[in-house]
Structure 1
Amino acid sequence: MRIVRGIYKARRFSPPKSFPSRPTTDYAKEGIFNVLENRYSLINLNILDLCAGTGNISMEFLSREAGNVTSVDKHPVCIKYMYKLKNELNIGDEWNISKNEVRNFLDNTRETYDLIFADPPYDLTFHDSLVRIIRERKLLAEGGICLVEHGKQTDLSQESGYLETRNFGNVYFSFFQFE
């Protein structure tokens, strides 16, 4: 895992071999961040990273000094690894790490976010329910973007608020915006 751009650019991190999640590929990460940076301002945002795993996506936002990032994952190994990165890089209060099941977190948070990034395991089938919970609970701030990473087998185009899907190799990203 390497950081593509920003203040932590070119830093490499290697999660343990038995790590319980799959990090977003560098190719896909570079592609989606090019899209994001060309379409939206990433300055001073409140960002939520669901199923954060290695913290790979959170680190890209933090490296770009995009604002406050909350990373949520239920697996203790993932949480421990993200805290390790946070300490190694001396990152302060701008990175909040929460050990929680994502649907439980979404059901209980009182915050709204400018950008929500979700990367559930591709083989799970709750991508659409995450989008619905985010929409129904009004967790996106006005003009906010929700981005869901998924595999080819997942089609989210029928969900309310769907904008488009972009793919980079075998990685797909569906964009949503809600009124």
Structure 2
Amino acid sequence: MRIIGGSLKGLRLNPPKNLPVRPTTDLAKEALFNILLNQIEFESIRVLDLFSGTGNISLEFASRGAEQVISVDRSIHCVNYLKDTSRQHHLTQIKTYREDVFKYLNIETEQYDLIFADPPYDLNRIPDLPKVVFEKNLLKPDGLLIVEHQSMQNLSNHPAFVEQRKYGHSSFSFFRPNFQ
């Protein structure tokens, strides 16, 4: 696992082996950020990273100059690893929260430019993520929600769904408020 762009480009991440995670592959992450590169001005965005795990995605956004990155995961070990890595590389824009993602979403009131969610693939509430994000109005009007999920899963029935991109067994589904 490595940072593929920005100030920390090339940095290898070596999280502890016992973390309860399935990190986004470098191939899929590189493809995702190539898509985003043409759509987003990284330096001025606020990002919410749900099910942040190792913080791979949070660190990538911070490396590219995101103004603020909020990372939420229920594992204290994941949160501590991300806190330590952020501190080590002076990424003060990353804030971590140890919380169940759905509980966090129920109390969140801020709006974000981009929300990224990489839930466990066996989580049966994955289709609820877009529903909750849009009901709570957590995206700015030109914001973007990206949900990583198994390629065989289809999230296109939500009215804000824009497209799905497949990378092997993983897919990214994209949602925008103005598509509703």
Interval containing the TM-score (normalised by the shorter chain): over 0.9
Q: Which residue is equivalent to 2:159? A: 160
- Distance in 2 separating the partners of 1:26 and 1:100: 26
Equivalent runs, 1:12-31 vs 2, <5 Å: 12-31=12-31
1:89 paired to 2:89? yes
- Distance in 2 separating the partners of 1:78 and 1:56: 11
- Distance in 2 separating the partners of 1:144 and 1:96: 20
Equivalent runs, 1:1-179 vs 2, <5 Å: 1-92=1-92, 94-179=93-178
C-alpha deviations, 1:10-61, integer Å up to 9, x for none? 0011111111111100000000000011123223111100000000000110
TM-score (norm 2): 0.96
- Identity over aligned pairs, percent: 42
Q: What is the count of residue pairs matched by the alignment?
A: 178
Provide structure 2 residue ranges, at least 5 long, that are not aligned to the other structure: none
Deviation at 1:141, TM superposition (A): 0.7
C-alpha deviations, 1:127-161, integer Å up to 9, x for none? 11111000101000111000000012311010120
- Distance in 2 separating the partners of 1:52 and 1:107: 17
- Distance in 2 separating the partners of 1:40 and 1:46: 11
Provide structure 1 residue ranges, at least 5 long, that are not aligned to the other structure: none
- Distance in 1 separating the partners of 2:32 and 2:113: 17
Q: Secondary structure at the match of 1:127?
A: coil
What is the letter of the counterpart of residue 165 of structure 2? Answer: R
- Distance in 2 separating the partners of 1:64 and 1:30: 13
* RMSD over equivalenced CA pairs, Å: 1.0
Q: Secondary structure at the match of 2:20?
A: coil
- Distance in 1 separating the partners of 2:10 and 2:121: 27
Q: Residue 151 of structure 2 contacts residue 168 of structure 2 at CA under 8 Å; is this kept in 1?
A: no
Q: Residue 50 of structure 2 contacts residue 71 of structure 2 at CA under 8 Å; is this kept in 1?
A: yes
What is the letter of the counterpart of residue 60 of structure 2? Answer: E
